Amino acid sequence: MKDTLVHKLDSGEARIGIIGLGYVGLPLALRYLAVGYSVLGLDIDPHKVNRLMKGESFIRHIPSEPLQEGVQQGRFQATTDFSRAGEADALILCVPTPLDRHREPDLSFVVNSLEEVLPAMRPGQVVSLESTTYPGTTDEELRPRIEAAGFKTGRDVFLVYSPEREDPGNPAFNTRSIPKVCGGVTPECLEVAMALYGRVIDQLVPVSSTRAAEAVKLMENIFRSVNIALVNEMKTAFMKMDIDIFEVIRAASTKPFGYMPFYPGPGLGGHCIPIDPFYLTWKAREYDVATRFIELAGEVNTSMPYYVVQRAMEVLNDFGRALKQARILLLGLAYKPDVDDDRESPTYKIMHLLEQKGADVSYNDPYVPVIKPSREYAHYAGRRSEQVSGEYDLVILCTAHKEYQNLDPADLGVPVLDTRGFFADLTGRVFRA
Which tens digits make up the pLDDT trace of 119-162?
Answer: 999 999 999 999 999 999 999 999 999 999 999 999 999 999 99
Q: For residue 284, what are the contacts with CB-CB under 8 A and spacing of at least 6?
A: 290, 291
Per 3-state DSSP, what percentage of the chain is helix, strand, and coil (rounded to 5)? 40, 15, 45
Distance (Å, whole) CA 168 – CA 174: 9
What pLDDT is attached to residue 273? 84
Which tens digits make up the pLDDT trace of 236-273?
Answer: 999 999 999 999 999 999 999 999 999 999 998 887 88
Assess whether pLDDT exceeds 90 at residue 182. Answer: yes
What integer is the mean pLDDT of 17-21? 97
Domain ranges for the chain: 2-208, 257-432
What pLDDT is attached to residue 60? 86
What pLDDT is attached to residue 314? 96
Give the mean pLDDT of the chain: 95
Q: How confident is the model at residue 424 (pLDDT cuts 50, 70, 90)?
A: confident
Distance (Å, whole) CA 357 – CA 325: 9
Neighbours of 46 (CB within 10 A): 11
What backbone torsions phi and psi does residue 319 show, to the nearest 5 degrees?
-100, 15
Tell me the pTM. 0.92
Q: What is the DSSP string of 365-396?
A: -TT-SBPPP-SS-GGGTT-B-----S-SSEEE
What pLDDT is attached to residue 418? 96
Percentage of the chain lying above the pLDDT 70 cut: 100
Assess whether pLDDT exceeds 90 at residue 320. Answer: yes
Which tens digits make up the pLDDT trace of 202-246?
Answer: 999 999 999 999 999 999 999 999 999 999 999 999 999 999 999
Asked if residues 39 and 20 have their Cβ atoms less than 8 Å apart, the reply is no
Q: In sequence order, what are the beta bridge partners of 125?
A: 157
Residue 384: DSSP 8-state: B
What pLDDT is attached to residue 270? 82
Neighbouring C-alpha atoms within 13 Å toward the C-beta of 251: 6
Q: How confident is the model at residue 428 (pLDDT cuts 50, 70, 90)?
A: confident
Q: How confident is the model at residue 61 (pLDDT cuts 50, 70, 90)?
A: confident
What pLDDT is attached to residue 356? 97
Distance (Å, whole) CA 359 – CA 348: 14
Beta strands in 104-252 (DSSP E): 125-129, 157-161, 180-184, 204-206
What pLDDT is attached to residue 272? 82
Pairing of strands 180-184, 157-161: antiparallel
Q: In sequence order, what are the beta bridge partners of 205?
A: 181
Pairing of strands 90-93, 125-129: parallel
Asked if residues 159 and 2 have their Cβ atoms less than 8 Å apart, the reply is no
Q: How confident is the model at residue 429 (pLDDT cuts 50, 70, 90)?
A: confident
Residue 257: DSSP 8-state: S
Distance (Å, whole) CA 427 – CA 433: 17
Distance (Å, whole) CA 414 – CA 339: 27
Catalytic residues: 272
Asked if the domains at 2-208 and 257-432 fall in one CATH topology, the answer is yes
Distance (Å, whole) CA 221 – CA 376: 22
Asked if residues 137 and 120 have their Cβ atoms less than 8 Å apart, the reply is no
Assess whether pLDDT exceeds 70 at residue 427. Answer: no
On the 0-12 / 13-18 / 19+ scale of CB atoms within 10 A, 302 is: middle
Assess whether pLDDT exceeds 70 at residue 411. Answer: yes
- Poorest-pLDDT segment among 217-231, 305-319, 367-381: 367-381
What integer is the mean pLDDT of 3-8? 96
Asked if residues 155 and 128 have their Cβ atoms less than 8 Å apart, the reply is no
Percentage of the chain lying above the pLDDT 90 cut: 88
> 2-208, what's its fold?
Rossmann fold (3.40.50)
Question: Domain 257-432 has what CATH class?
Answer: alpha beta
Distance (Å, whole) CA 115 – CA 351: 38
What pLDDT is attached to residue 103? 83
Assess whether pLDDT exceeds 90 at residue 100. Answer: no
